[in-house]
Amino acid sequence: MMDLRYFVKISLTMALVQPLLMHVSITEALFATLLLFFGYLPVLHQLQPQDEGKYPPGPKPLPLLGNLHMLNLKKTYMSLWELSKQYGSVYTVHFGPKKVVILAGYKAVKQALVNLSEEVGDRDITPKFNDFNDGFGTNSLYMYYHGKSPWYYELIQYHHSTVFK
């Protein structure tokens, strides 16, 4: 059963808004919407939580887009490698609103996975990276693009000998 107060609110809102909409063209409405959206972006950027002390340095993100404008989405690994030359082997990028810490290079990965395994072991996996490795931690981006390589089997053997001891 519909609440009478809800019905009255809807009726009053429509009575107030309908005369305004009768004299507005679609182009004007679209322009006003875009103007409000782009006018709101700087406000949204200022309202983002400033917890930069917890994350490594990285490029300054745009609101909503993050650092996607800096990445070549066909060769993301090359873009991330170029960023590592500027920000070091451990840095933060934003994939949209999602913060991601990038480890570039053997030493950074080894330190994170071996020496700091307790701290980084409970990080969530984004759906796209889960697609890259089919839900397993043994595949790599190389295999995603080029199929299994000869060293894949060595990696599996090493993984099984280390994990299942």
What's the pLDDT tens digit per position in 22-65? 677 778 878 888 887 777 767 766 666 666 568 888 898 887 78
**Are 43 and 60 within one domain?**
no
Number of domains in the chain: 3
**Are 119 and 94 within one domain?**
yes
**Which of 8-17, 85-94, 127-136, 149-158 has the largest mean confidence?**
85-94
Residue 27 CB-half CA count within 13 A? 0
**Are 43 and 64 within one domain?**
no
**Are 96 and 133 within one domain?**
no
**Are 85 and 119 within one domain?**
yes
In which domain, by residue range, is 37 found? 4-47
**Are 116 and 129 within one domain?**
no
**Are 58 and 116 within one domain?**
yes
Structure tokens at 26: 């679609």
**Are 150 and 101 within one domain?**
no
**Are 58 and 91 within one domain?**
yes
Alpha carbon separation from 8 to 4, 33, 151 (Å, rounded)? 6, 27, 69
**Are 59 and 119 within one domain?**
yes
**Are 137 and 93 within one domain?**
no
Task: Please check the confidence at residue 149 and state whether its pLDDT lies above 70.
Answer: no
**Are 111 and 60 within one domain?**
yes
